[in-house]
A and B are shown apart, each in its own frame.
Chain A
Amino acid sequence: MTVSGLVALAAGVTVDKPTGFLGALATAAEDFIKVFNKGGSVLLSLMGGILPTLIVLLTAVNALVRLIGAEKIENLGKAAARPGIQWYPVRYIVLPFVSVFMLTNPMAYTMGRFLPERLKPAFYDSAVSFVHPILGIFPHANPGELFVYVGIATGIQQLGYGLGDLAVRYLLVGLVVIFIRGIVTEAITAKMMSRAEKAA
């Protein structure tokens, strides 16, 4: 008989609450198992709730990425290396997005090889900062770290709200943030590199 079956059976019979030393032990045992009963029901709701959708979605996107072919995005990497202000959005918005989407965490960072040395830290910063904002809509990019988003999203779900609004805003704000992060890190890297050159 399962634990929950036993509990249900016990609930049907009324006995005096156990007292004394053994009673305390019994209460402690009940409290102990309560933690895992609750955890088990949370696990079941997660596995029954998001897992089936996740598996189907991951399969579809993984197949799409394979059919397109990851090598197709190499030209984008070369374009992002070009100097000039108009290439900043390509380097710190489009390239991180496409790399994280197609190559996923952690292979997305290999796209940095197309950039000159002084831009590599900024690109890494930009790309790595996008592996969570993308999760709301494209969880295939980083399924191992899903709960950064899902943890908070579960709370929203409990309130009965839809997750679309949060997922879209998380993605869009994420794009703005990685753009700023790329620019700031590029500036800091440039300053530190020129200082290192002077010292050498």
Chain B
Amino acid sequence: MDGLTNLIVKIGRSVGGVVGTLYQAGRDTVDTVIRNVIPFMAFISFIIGLILTTGIGDWIAKALKGSASSLGGLLLISIICAIPILSPLLGPGAVIAQIVGTLLGVEIGKGNIPAQYSLPALFAINPQVGCDFIPVGLALGEAEPETVEIGVPAVLFSRLITGPLAVVIAYFASFGLYTASK
């Protein structure tokens, strides 16, 4: 009889644990969505509204169409974003990358930029990822102050090489992407 009781208690506990975990996961998710995702959606929606209803859109379209629909233009964007002085300024919260990404998305949706360029563009607008966060990120990895001193410029210089390189790789990886149906 004791064994049976133990079994029931055991099952009850593990089921309770799983349900509790799922519930907590849901709570965390809603928390993140309300605190991080929806505010950004509101902000992005305003920007899209502004772009679509005013003349700003045409102006941006002209500027982006030239640079974002050729490999050379995308490389230029990535090199500018990877300049060691600019990259930490462009990094915080990935706000710049998110806005430029949304602008490009609008232009891709309108057909001004070929859909195939979406993949290299994702890398072209983002060589600065995390460049603002290097000292904190290294500190999270329990790095010594000497490592941080060398690590910050090392990562920034590395981006000058790997930023444009990523665009080239993505460009070649984008062959056959959204082109067959045209």
Contacts and interface: CB of A to CB of B under 8 A. Distances in A.
A147 B141 contact: no
A115 B99 CA distance: 35
B2 interface: no
B41 A155 contact: no
B173 interface: yes
Given A124-B130, A152-B122, A176-B169, A115 B141 contact: yes
Contacts of B118: 152-153, 155-156, 166
A95 to B, nearest CB: 12
A59 B25 contact: yes
Contacts, number: 275
Interface stretch (A5-13, A15-23, A126-134): A126-134
Nearest to B29: A58
Contacts of B158: 125, 181, 184-185, 188
Contacts of A146: 37, 40, 98
Contacts of A47: 38, 41
B126 A132 contact: yes
Give the dominant DSSP class at B's interface.
Answer: helix
Sorting the interface of chain A by its residue count into under 10, 10 to 19, 20 to 34 or 35 or more gives 35 or more
A66 B45 contact: no
Contacts of B174: 169
Contact of B21 (A46, A67, A121, A150): A67
B61 interface: no
Interface in B116-150: 118-119, 121-123, 125-126, 129-130, 133-134, 136-138, 140-144, 146-147, 150
Contacts of B5: none
Contacts of A149: 101, 122
B33 interface: yes
B6 interface: no
Contacts of A66: 21, 24-25
Given A121-B151, A152-B118, A180-B165, A42 B48 contact: yes
Contacts of B45: 39-40, 42-43, 46
Given A46-B45, A181-B158, A147 B98 contact: yes
Contacts of B54: 35
Given A42-B49, A62-B28, A125-B130, 8 more contacts: A58-B33, A127-B137, A131-B129, A131-B130, A146-B37, A170-B119, A173-B169, A185-B155
16 contacts: A35-B49, A35-B53, A39-B49, A40-B49, A42-B52, A51-B38, A67-B21, A106-B137, A109-B140, A120-B138, A132-B97, A132-B129, A143-B33, A152-B122, A165-B177, A189-B150
